[in-house]
Amino acid sequence: MKKIITFSYVFRKSLFSLSYYKDVVKSRFKFSLKYFLIFCLLTGFLSLLSISLSVIPEVNVFITRFKNNAYTLYPSDLIITVKNGQLTTNVTEPFRVPIPYALFTQNPPAISDQKQIYLVTIDTKASPQDFTKSQSLMLITKDKYVIASDNLNGVREESLKNLGDLVIDKKFIDQKLNSIMPVLNYASLILMAILALVFLILMPVVRLMSLFVYSLILLIPARMMGLTLNFAKIYQIGLHALTLPLILQMTLLAFGVYPAIPFFGSIVFLLYNLVILAELNKTNNLKFIKNTSEN
């Protein structure tokens, strides 16, 4: 109980009290690091819980739909042969595969050739320049496959030679599906494990690394203010000062009003630190010795 009360006190002070940072610079670095790690664990669990409650049910629904529809998606009469980087088919071209809306909604829209966007179009007489005209997410020509990209051309081309020689038919696809179906039973658990790794381990590590860069930047205004804070103390202040931007970001995301401002969290953090440094600058009795026993 005492530890909970202590954490609650430090959390409130780190969030709302500028004067508290005078105590931070007098405390041991280990104290601040411990607070930061506990804070990251708690916020990580909250983020993990929030995303799990919203995403995992949708994933489970998608997996159920995939299991119910996957074996019917590949045309039973289509045989695709790739040899020496050249593609041939046994169907009339262009051959179009509609987007499998049944995987994403319980009531898939009716297919209309006028406004239909296709998943794949196979046309061995087409060129990569026909990608937009194909109205497809992927266009497969005689020797290339083309997908949309954010490069200057707007498309990405890949040679079919990279695939090697192969024959794709209904039997081939069914075999691949048979191999992945057992894994899908554990998809939610795998996703949860990945999310836990991201929120509970990777994000705290990234924040610690980012704080290293921020602290180097904040050394400049600290010196300009005449503060004798060394790098370690500025880093220690940051371990507490991260509380405000992280809570602000989580709140804005929860309400769906996160501003479309690049590096918004970084800007808030740096501004808050400047205010903290200005508050510390009001007192002229801060003297620090680098690499003391306190550090």
Answer yes or no: is pLDDT of 292 > 90. no
Residue 73's pLDDT is what?
A: 87
DSSP 17-32: -STTHHHHTTS-HHHH
- Rounded Cα–Cα distance for residues 244 and 11 (Å): 10
Placement of tokens 């921020």 in the chain: 214
Answer yes or no: is pLDDT of 295 > 60. no
- Rounded Cα–Cα distance for residues 194 and 289 (Å): 43
For the chain, give the percent of residues with pLDDT over 90. Answer: 65
> What angle (nearest 5°) sits at the alpha carbon of residue 92, between those of residues 90 and 96?
100
Answer yes or no: is pLDDT of 113 > 90. no
Q: Are 59 and 187 in contact (CB under 8 A)?
A: yes
Regarding whether 96 and 48 lie in a shared domain, the answer is no
Regarding whether 83 and 47 lie in a shared domain, the answer is no
Regarding whether 277 and 192 lie in a shared domain, the answer is yes
Q: Which domain holds residue 100?
A: 79-168
Answer yes or no: is pLDDT of 60 > 70. yes
Regarding whether 160 and 15 lie in a shared domain, the answer is no
* H or E element, residue 158: strand 155-159
pLDDT for 169-217, tens place per residue?
Answer: 999 999 999 999 999 999 999 999 999 999 999 999 999 999 999 999 9
Position 275 confidence tier, pLDDT thresholds 50, 70, 90: very high
Answer yes or no: is pLDDT of 102 > 90. no
Coil, strand or helix at 274: helix
Coil, strand or helix at 156: strand
- Any domain includes 290: no
Placement of tokens 């966007």 in the chain: 117
Q: Are 127 and 144 in contact (CB under 8 A)?
A: no
Coil, strand or helix at 255: coil
Answer yes or no: is pLDDT of 9 > 70. yes
**Chosen domain end from 139, 168, 197:** 168
Model confidence, pTM: 0.74
Q: How far apart are the first and last CA of the chain?
A: 28
- Rounded Cα–Cα distance for residues 240 and 291 (Å): 20
- Any domain includes 135: yes
pLDDT for 216-268, tens place per residue?
Answer: 999 999 999 888 899 999 999 999 999 999 999 999 988 889 898 899 999 99
Both structure tokens of 195: 């999310």
Residue 152's pLDDT is what?
A: 59
- Any domain includes 252: yes
> What angle (nearest 5°) sits at the alpha carbon of residue 274, between those of residues 238 and 32?
20
- Rounded Cα–Cα distance for residues 24 and 30 (Å): 11
Regarding whether 192 and 49 lie in a shared domain, the answer is yes
Both structure tokens of 119: 């998943």
Q: Give me the number of domains the chain comprises.
A: 2
Answer yes or no: is pLDDT of 32 > 90. yes
Torsion of CA 211, 215, 218, 224, to 10 degrees: 170
pLDDT for 179-191, tens place per residue?
Answer: 999 999 999 999 9
- Any domain includes 239: yes
- Rounded Cα–Cα distance for residues 285 and 227 (Å): 10
- Any domain includes 176: no
Q: Are 214 and 269 in contact (CB under 8 A)?
A: yes
Residue type, 33: L
